[in-house]
């Protein structure tokens, strides 16, 4: 699977459109670091340096604009390994929860013991909109 929306998230959104359920969206989202594509379940290649999910806060979308990261920048501290971070997965909970989507970093980041990795930007937009 390439990076993108999870089948669970898409199915819930589509079911909302056909009035089969309430609008779907987690109240809080969490990001996890990966050393390769997280895969369809979001669980492949989780970073060994930090397995913690950090809170992500998105500003509200308006007029069809993309979601954008807002508030405190999420960060992680490497607990004792050297690896290269390449992807993020976004979840509905700090543990377990529902995998929502994954993204590749614009550039891979070498990450060593005691280094801090801080995300300063993350945007999400959907394809073309009717105008």
Instruction: Answer yes or no: is 92 within a domain.
Output: yes
Q: Provide the residue range defining the domain that includes 41.
A: 4-122
- What is the model's pTM? 0.80
Instruction: Answer yes or no: is 127 within a domain.
Output: no
Instruction: Answer yes or no: is 110 within a domain.
Output: yes
Task: Determine the Cα–Cα distance for residues 24 and 126; give it in Å rounded to an integer.
Answer: 16
3-class secondary-structure state, position 67: strand
pLDDT in tens, 13-55: 777 777 666 666 777 889 999 999 999 999 999 999 999 999 9
pLDDT computed for residue 28 by the predictor = 86
3-class secondary-structure state, position 109: strand
Task: Give all strands (DSSP E) within the chain, no chain letters.
Answer: 4-5, 29-34, 54-56, 58-59, 67-69, 75-77, 83-91, 99-111, 116-118, 123-124
pLDDT computed for residue 69 by the predictor = 73
pLDDT computed for residue 61 by the predictor = 73
Q: Name the domain count of the chain.
A: 1
3-class secondary-structure state, position 46: strand
Instruction: Answer yes or no: is 130 within a domain.
Output: no
Do the Cβ atoms of 24 and 92 come closer than 8 Å?
no
pLDDT in tens, 53-108: 999 887 777 766 667 777 788 899 999 999 999 999 989 999 999 998 898 998 99
Instruction: Answer yes or no: is 26 within a domain.
Output: yes
pLDDT computed for residue 10 by the predictor = 75
């Amino acid at each position: 699977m390439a990076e993108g929306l999870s089948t669970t998230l898409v199915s819930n959104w589509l079911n909302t459109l056909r009035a089969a359920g309430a609008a779907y969206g987690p109240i809080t989202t969490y990001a996890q670091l990966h050393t390769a594509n997280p895969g369809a379940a979001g669980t492949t290649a989780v970073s060994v340096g930090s397995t913690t999910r950090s809170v992500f806060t998105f500003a509200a979308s308006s007029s069809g604009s993309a979601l954008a990261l807002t508030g405190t920048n999420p960060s992680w501290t490497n607990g004792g390994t050297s690896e290269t971070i390449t992807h993020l997965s976004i979840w509905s909970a700090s543990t377990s929860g529902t995998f929502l989507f994954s993204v590749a970093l614009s550039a891979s980041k070498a990450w060593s013991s005691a280094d801090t990795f801080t995300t300063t930007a993350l945007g999400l937009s959907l394809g073309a909109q009717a105008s």
